[in-house]
Amino acid sequence: MPLTPFFTPNGVAVIGASATPGKLGHGVIANLIRSGYQGPIYPINPKADAILGRKAYPDVRQVPDPVDLAVIIIPAPAVPEALRACGQRGIRAAAILSGGFAEVGEEGAALQQTILDIAREYDMRLVGPNGVGVLNPHSGLNTTFIEQIPDPGDIAFLSQSGALGGALIDWAKGQHIGLSYFASLGNAADLTETDFIQALNDDPHTRVIATYIESIHNGPRFMAAARQVAPHTPIIALKTGGTAAGARAVASHTASLGGSDEAYSAAFKQSGVIRARSVQELFDTAIALAYQQPPRGPRVAVITNAGGPAAVAADALARNGLQAPEPDDATRQALRDALGDYPQLVNPIDMLGAASSPEYEAAARVLLASNAYDAILAILVPNTANDPVGVADALARAAADADKPLYACFMGDVSIREGRQRLHQHRIPVYDFPENAARAIANALRWHWVHESPPAAPEPPDLAPFQAIRAEIQRLAGEGRGYLAEADLYPLLEDVGFPLAPWTAAYTQRTAEAFTSNFPGPFAVKILSPDILHKSDIGGVMLNVPAEEVSKAYWDLQARVRRRARRAGLQGVLVQQMAGPGTEVIIGMRRDPTFGPMVMFGGGGVYVEALRDVSFRIAPFSDEQARQMLGETVAGRMLLFGARGRRPGDVDALAALIRRVAALALAIPELAEFELNPVIVHEPGQGVTVVDARAVLADRD
């Protein structure tokens, strides 16, 4: 999609322009004029001759050349006709501000489909409906009702909420944060966040894409686009809905732990998108990446004229995974040469209250030239002895030719407003508090890693080996089965190479006995019933049973379960050789409606839900990603690196099993949830053993 007709149109027709002040259709014309849009403006209104001095036309088909963009702000039922007229006039871009479409229910959704069909027919692209339009501070284009057009800059801001977008633009204006474009996506009937992200990648005005997301329209397409764009143009996303409690009851740990928010986090991580956790963090990060190159490592030098903020900064850096190492000898000597003998040349470097602009400049120059640091944070607290504007200019001079970033934190408000504004002009990112600075620097470093090691599209796994067992699962689903227990799954999993401990389904005592004579014990004896999903909850599992006691266990177990689950159909027991020593982990899968199969790895045992020691990835993913999942959990790090009194585990086999679960999920869409719990991870070279499995089948349409 080309951006030009939306952001740099030559001629704008406003369908629904009004001569009455206070009406939205009047405000749009007024804003186009006030914001300084230089192209022709055509109010479309059958009853007016002119609006705000611009000749009005009764029908868009009568508008002369040039006209690239239509802004539509009329009641929803009239939109299709107006859109058709635009198409006939040869307009190829429309921003539909009207509400009353998919957001109001089924009828509106049908109307939305109608306008989409019309757009397709005439080869038009749409923004909206139900947004506030588009805005280009560079050209003065403002099709919104937002009065305060932001300063021109290089952050493109895409918002799924028009209102939030408006508030943020108002805020950005006050903070002197410049935007390249703003698009209010509304219902995104046609153009989505993904389209804009793709189009903005090559845009010369845009250095950073900041986006407010309520829901992504097509998960895999978004991930593919972001993977392409993010390494070149940073994408920062604020996604809400993070803590919404799941609506339906879930049958597996994976489903209860991995909701849609975890899917978004995983998708962002895998496609190089930086996730902001607040509106403030979104823009704090955006200016960090728009104004300066990112840091190439975590080592931050702090210069300050006050000890208190230095302590706050040191804390905040550490909390965000950054470091504040002491200066090395060369840097210390250079600081001494530049500043004279300060009491303590440590990091943070406190130049005391009276620190002058030349001192800030000198210290910043030394630190920017030092090999000991990857970034500089300069903190200023106002007092009668200093000059915030002078310090801003001094920092800009120091940063001008540096090969690493400099960030500023000017604390206070009234005394440093002008200094902050000057920093924005100099393109030095400036923050209210050290905490904000630390978060933004950490995000900038995250992006540096995305830039250095762009996320690769993973090789799709070979799904052919799974086709036979898919047919079998389809057959079971056809019988109306809602879930599959281990006795259903084991034969299938064995066929596709899952490492199972030797087992048998013993429908008779004799089968159980025969099995135990073939394998050394001890054994796990588990109830065999298509009606019981959580066996251990009702005492349906006996562990460490010696061979000679398996016959007794066969009867005891069924009697015990019978007391607690009177109606369950009991078919006998499943006998399985106990796995050798190792660490219990869990591997699971849940199908996310936006992104598709999401695989979970986590520590096992009863603590799994309570501790949330889990990590997620959207399938497919690389072996490297599978190993990163281990690194993101305590249980996984113990397997990777060992721990007091414990040896590492066979992480090669474990990563392979995690990816096998991903392949299974991709091959068999009938699986809604799937879980191996526990899996025993043995010592390196000894592999892993699956000792329980269950699956939930998808509801059939």
**What is the closest distance, in whole angstroms, from the C-beta atom of residue 247 to its own copies in the complex?**
13
Q: Within 186-215, which residues bind its own copies (CB under 8 A)? A: 212, 214
Among 168, 191, 349, 441, binds its own copies (CB under 8 A): 168
43 SS3 class: strand
Tokens representing 663 are 């392949």
Helix-helix angle 434-452:279-291, to 10 degrees = 60
Pick out residues in 437-496 that bind its own copies (CB under 8 A). none
Choose between 117 and 537: whose C-beta lies nearer to its own copies.
537
When asked if residue 142 is in the footprint of its own copies (CB under 8 A), the reply is: no
> Which among 632, 608, 637, 610 is positioned nearest to 621, based on CA atoms?
632
263 binds its own copies (CB under 8 A): no
Please report whether residue 531 would count as binding its own copies according to CB under 8 A. Answer: no
Of the residues 84, 173, 426, 591, which one makes contact with its own copies according to CB under 8 A: 173
- Of the two residues 671 and 680, which places its CB atom closer to its own copies in the complex? 680
Residue length, the chain? 701
d(CA 365, CA 369): 6
Q: Per rule CB under 8 A, is residue 533 in the interface with its own copies? A: no
**Using rule CB under 8 A, residue 166 touches its own copies:** yes
| Beta carbon nearer to its own copies, 159 or 689 | 159
Residue for token digits 């200023």?
Answer: 380
**CB 63 → its own copies: shortest distance, Å?**
26
Select from 52, 109, 164, 533 the one that contacts its own copies (CB under 8 A).
164
Residues 211, 237: contact at Cβ < 8 Å? yes
Burial class (CB in 10 A: 0-12, 13-18, 19+), 651: buried
Long-range contacts of 516-519 (CB under 8 A, 24+ apart): 516/547, 516/550, 516/575, 517/547, 519/577
- Residue 249 found at the interface with its own copies (CB under 8 A): no
Contact of 270 with 453, CB cutoff 8 Å: no
65, 413, 548, 624: which one binds its own copies (CB under 8 A):
413
Half-sphere exposure of 628 (CA within 13 A, CB side): 13
Among 412, 381, 409, 378, which residue's Cα sits nearest to residue 395? 378
Q: How far is the CB of 415 from its own copies (least distance, A)?
A: 5
* Positions 311 through 370 that interact with its own copies (CB under 8 A): 311-312, 314-315, 318-319, 343, 353
Minimum distance from residue 192 beta carbon to its own copies (Å): 16
Residues 19-58 that bind its own copies (CB under 8 A): 24, 27
**Among residues 607, 624, 631, 647, the one that binds its own copies under rule CB under 8 A:** 607
Return the residues of window 639-698 that contact its own copies according to CB under 8 A: 643-646
Q: Please state, in angstroms and as integers, the Cα–Cα distance from residue 462 to each residue in 204, 496, 659, 669, following that order.
A: 40, 12, 11, 15
- Cα separation, 680 vs 657, in Å, equals 11
List the one residue from 57, 145, 182, 373 that touches its own copies (CB under 8 A): 145
User: Which residue's entry shows tokens 């009353």?
Assistant: 100
Q: What HEC string does 524-569 produce? A: EEEEECCCCCCHHHHCCEEEEECHHHHHHHHHHHHHHHHHHCCCCC
Closer residue to its own copies (CB): 17 or 124: 17
- How far is residue 406's CA from residue 391's CA, in Å, rounded to a whole number? 13
- Can you tell me whether residue 337 is helix, strand or coil? helix
- Within residues 229-248, the interface with its own copies by CB under 8 A covers 238, 240-245
Residue number with CB closer to its own copies (330 or 346):
346
Nearer to its own copies, 316 or 469 (CB): 316
* Cβ proximity to its own copies, 281 vs 374, nearer residue: 281
Stretch of 110-118, 161-169, 487-495, 504-512 contacting its own copies, by CB under 8 A: 161-169
Cα dist. 65→11, 36, 92 in Å? 8, 20, 13
* Cβ count near 140 (within 10 Å): 18
HSE-up (13 A, CA, CB side) for residue 659: 21
Query: Which residues inside 81-120 make contact with its own copies, applying CB under 8 A?
Result: 104
User: By CB under 8 A, what part of segment 270-309 binds its own copies?
Assistant: 278-280, 305-309
The least CB distance from residue 622 to its own copies, in Å, is 26
Options 52, 477, 533, 611; binder of its own copies; rule CB under 8 A: 611
Q: Give residues 546-605 in contact with its own copies (rule: CB under 8 A).
A: 603
Q: Which is nearer to its own copies, 1 or 611 (CB)?
A: 611
* Cβ closest to its own copies, residue 236 vs residue 469: 236
Q: Of the listed pieces 33-41, 377-385, 457-465, 677-685, which binds its own copies according to CB under 8 A? A: 377-385
